[in-house]
Chain A
Amino acid sequence: MTLIVRLKQFLDETGNVARFTGRFFSAGIKPRYESKELLNQCYNIGYLSFPLVGLTSFIMGLVLTMQLRPSLVDYGVESQLPVMVGLAIVREIGPVITALIFAGKIGSSIGAELGSMKVTEQIDAMTVSGIKPFKYLVATRVMATTLMLPLLTILGDGISLFGAYLGVNIRSVTSIDLFFLQVFKSLDFSDVLPAIIKTLFFGFAVGIVGCYKGFNSSKGTQGVGISANSAVVLSSVLIFIIDLLAVQITELLGLN
């Protein structure tokens, strides 16, 4: 019985998120635009996340390289280290790790911020003052996450590769020119573009889920906590699901 109840809840929730997304496309992106608030959100969501994304990307590139080296040495292909690491970072690990960090930092903060605005009636206050909260709060945040995550991913990939370069240099000596030459030679347009396009969807998912959870927060501090928490959980799961779909689509399109 509980399984059926759970399933029903899950389907209800899916339907509600879908409706919320539909509302974003029907109401959220019509003029007039809240361009000042959009810029403000891009700053909060993008610029202020950069240090965290930079740090984690750097460590990831470094560690990945150090972990991969022994296996490559065993096979006698140590010289392929930059190529392997470069591909792994650009195609998969960079986008996904950045998106997960982003979901943790931004998804929860959007969920908590909108959730507390909801329970303290600030969203109602906007409605009463003739401000469309959906446009002012939701549309700006979703657009900002959608635009900023790809940028963060590109920057993060760069920093990761720099970390990888340092990782290579722990045991052997390569010049930075040579390292990046090797990486870029192995990278194709079809490696980079799908990886960046999928981050648009990751960013969109983080924004929509955070806003949805916040907007539907139940009363009280506990409600706000639950919103923040479930925003992170749901958007992280969605990131993996989108990733799975993306790899199927690129394969179908013959881009792999």
Chain B
Amino acid sequence: METVKSEAVIVIKDLVKAFGDKIILDGFNLTVEKGSNVVILGKSGSGKSVLIKCIIGLLQPDSGSIHVFNGNIPEMNEDELDQARSKIGFLFQSNALYDSMTIRENLEFPLLRHWVDIEKDEVDRLVNGALEDVDLLHTLDMMPSELSGGMLKRVALARTMILRPEVILYDEPTTGLDPVTSREIENLILKLQKKNHTSSIIISHDMNCVKNTADLVVLLLEGKCYAEGTYAELEQSADQNIKQFFE
């Protein structure tokens, strides 16, 4: 019987995931404490996106456990998964905005689904607030196809944050953004962390973002957690596999 520490929000044990005979995750372990930001580093194709998709239940791992709020995600049924997902925010690497809906509808959609009897005024207030946070209030009635890549990323962030999730999984939140906007996004992540006591997993290649947001940095290599430590600790490392990320 495994004991889950009360302050740990996500506990991943011996996670294995393969596509065909290509093993992507090979006994991965990770614990995310409540209120902390964990950044996952790893080369392109190392399985970072696959990892967080397993956490949200979009992919079914081959073995291992993923406890989020004390329930094991791979063993949950649809209803339990829905319940857990309502407390988890997910930012897709590709944004995944609904391109047949306006920005307003994109943000309203999850709201109206999760809180069925929410008032119209409250919806408007939350949508406006979320867009203001990412400085895009003026895009309210535009279609996703009218926005630039960076703007889309920010809208996607707003959509992720609007439900005030307790856990947020960010897949490359600052990739493709200019340094100024990146800084704003980082601040937003930190603000949420402080205000709502959110716990996050952040996948990033952007070392500035890593440095500014990470409480813990984890290096994913060959399907395993290769190294784990604060930014400062890993930065000092002499290991070639770690060093190459900090150069």
| Residues of A in contact with B (beta carbons under 8 Å apart) | 113, 117, 120-122, 124-125, 127-131
**Are A128 and B113 interface neighbours, CB within 8 A?**
no
**Contact present for A120 and B114 (CB under 8 Å):** no
Count residues of B near A (Cβ-Cβ below 8 Å).
19
Main secondary structure of the interface of A (DSSP, over half): helix
Q: What's the least CB distance linking A87 to chain B, in Å?
A: 43
Q: Given contacts A122-B98, A129-B114, could you give 11 more A-B pairs where the C-beta distance is less than 8 Å? A: A113-B100, A121-B94, A122-B96, A125-B96, A125-B97, A127-B58, A128-B90, A129-B85, A129-B110, A130-B85, A131-B109
Q: Which residues of A contact B99 (CB under 8 A)?
A: 120, 122
**In the assembled complex, which residues on chain B have CB atoms less than 8 Å from the CB atom of A127?**
58
Distance between Cα atoms of A158 and B72 in the complex (Å) = 59
Contacts of A122 in B (CB 8 A): 96-99
Q: How far is the CB of B77 from chain A (nearest CB, A)?
A: 13
CB pair A120–B85 under 8 Å, yes or no, is no
Question: Are A130 and B96 closer than 8 Å at their CB atoms?
Answer: no
Q: Which of A121, A122, A124, A128 has the most CB of B within 10 A?
A: A128
Contact A128 B85 (CB under 8 A): yes
> Which chain A residues lie closer than 8 Å to B82 at the CB level?
130
Q: Do B96 and A121 touch (CB < 8 A)?
A: yes
| Bound Cα distance A121, B56 (Å) | 14
A124 x B113 contact (CB < 8 A): no
Q: List 28 A-B contacts (CB under 8 A).
A: A113-B100, A120-B94, A120-B96, A120-B99, A121-B92, A121-B96, A122-B96, A122-B97, A122-B99, A124-B53, A124-B58, A124-B96, A125-B90, A125-B97, A125-B98, A127-B58, A128-B58, A128-B85, A128-B88, A128-B90, A129-B85, A129-B109, A129-B110, A130-B82, A130-B86, A130-B114, A131-B109, A131-B110
A113 to chain B: closest residue by CB: B100
CB distance from B226 to the nearest CB of A (A): 27
CA distance A122 to B109 in the complex (A): 12
The CA-CA distance from A131 to B90 in the complex, in Å, is 14
Hey, which chain A residues are within 8 Å of B85, CB to CB?
128-130
